[in-house]
Amino acid sequence: MKQLKTLAIAFVLFITAQVSAQSKMAHIDVKELMTNMPEMKAAQSQLKTIQDTYDKEYKGMVQEYQTKLQKYEQEAPTAGEALNETRSKEMQGMGQRIQEFQQSASKQLQQKELDLLKPIMEKAQAAIKKVATAKGYDYVIDATEGSGLLVANGPNILADVKKELGF
């Protein structure tokens, strides 16, 4: 297994060397670029507001559930069996609605995040492409930590892209 990993790394370095001998390459930390974009700050603020709204609504539902549960538990010994059974079903229904709300809110928040980030990413990619073309680079590699970039000998075009975007 270790030999296979070493062989794979050697192969990647060999291919990189072959490509870089024939092509001009640069790198950029896309995550850093997007984090610094003004649109990203606005998107994060909007997502925070939406998340706070969902959290407030969720906490209200949980509080109502706990209040009713306490009340029903106190009244259970004196209430009839039929009433206790009805209340039990009501509480199960409330628990189910709370769980469904939480799942729905999570999905909606994720979708909103995708909707907000897509145009920001497209703008960043367009600026990277424009700078790369202007500087004559054939390849621009994402140098974001964890992206798989092993060696970064080419120039970092982050400053040029920021300039292109106006910040």
pLDDT single digits (tens) 19-34: 555 678 888 989 999 9
Domains of the chain in start order, with CATH, are 25-165 (3.30.910)
CB atoms within 10 A of CB 159: 11
Residue 65, pLDDT above cutoff 70:
yes
Q: What is the mean pLDDT of the chain?
A: 86
pLDDT band at 6 (very low <50, low <70, confident <90, very high): low
pLDDT digits (tens, 9 = 90+) for 129-147: 999 889 888 888 888 887 7
Q: Which of 46-55, 72-81, 133-142 holds the top average pLDDT? A: 46-55
Residue 107, pLDDT above cutoff 90:
yes
Residue 162, pLDDT above cutoff 90:
no
Position 34 scores a pLDDT of 92
- Among the listed residues 128, 123, 138, the one whose alpha carbon sits nearest the alpha carbon of residue 161: 128
Position 5 scores a pLDDT of 61
In 3-state terms, the chain is what percent helix, strand and coil (to 5)?
75, 5, 15
CA-derived radius of gyration, the chain: 27
